[in-house]
Amino acid sequence: MTVIDAAPFPLAFDPATTALIVIDMQRDFIEPGGFGESLGNDVSRLAAIVPTVARLIDGFRAAGLTVIHTKECHRPDLSDLPASKRDRGNPSLRIGDPGPMGRVLIAGEPGADIVPALAPLPGEIVIEKPGKGSFYNTPLGAILAEKGTKTLVIGGVTTEVCVQTTMREANDRGFECLLVEDATESYFEAFREATLAMVRAQGAIVGWTAPTDRVLAALGG
């Protein structure tokens, strides 16, 4: 077993049964002109973590460990998009509408792609998910079961929505989860900090947190 110096206490894990999940580092959320900015958000907050997420991914690749990417996106006919999601709020663009990077959050459109600096390598798993959580209506659970995965290291955006939802889904399925503190971000700093605190509260009720340097150190990087 290997140990990460994490909060609220060290996390022991077996690298052979550990995977990295990088959540929704997509152009529509991170780049100017995308869906995130259309909601009135400062996307530079999310863009700022791209180099750190790249270091995290590189460390897992160098260690020969599983790297999984997720993308929140919908079918072109919107058959997997409930009205309750499309009609929420008052954005200038809605999911499925034409935008500067193609139709917003539609599979195959440029805006749904992962930012180039974090592009998946050939053979890496990419999960297209219609919901906030990465397990809902996706093959992720079956993929992790086939690999014998027990521990998930998680980064990506946004901390309080898709990242936290995935982490709670994984917790309910019996996975040990660690959220990488500086490899996740929100449009709202208070939401990020609150999520990190909730995750590790009451003896890691949802999971652990640690910065990238400590995760990579545990992997020998």
Strand residues in the chain grouped as ranges (E): 2-4, 11-13, 18-23, 66-72, 98-99, 102-103, 125-129, 151-157, 176-185, 208-210
The residues that bridge with 184 in the sheet, in sequence order, are 156
Residues recognised as catalytic: 24, 129, 162
In this structure, what DSSP letter does residue 121 have? P
Look up tokens 């894990």; give the residue: 13
**DSSP category for residue 10:** -
- For 12, the token pair is 């022991």
Q: Give me the amino acid identity at 37.
A: E
Q: CA-to-CA distance for 146 and 121, rounded, in angstroms?
A: 20
Label the pairing between strands 102-103 and 98-99: antiparallel
DSSP code, position 139: S
Sign of CA dihedral 67, 73, 75, 79: positive
* DSSP 8-state symbol, 114: B
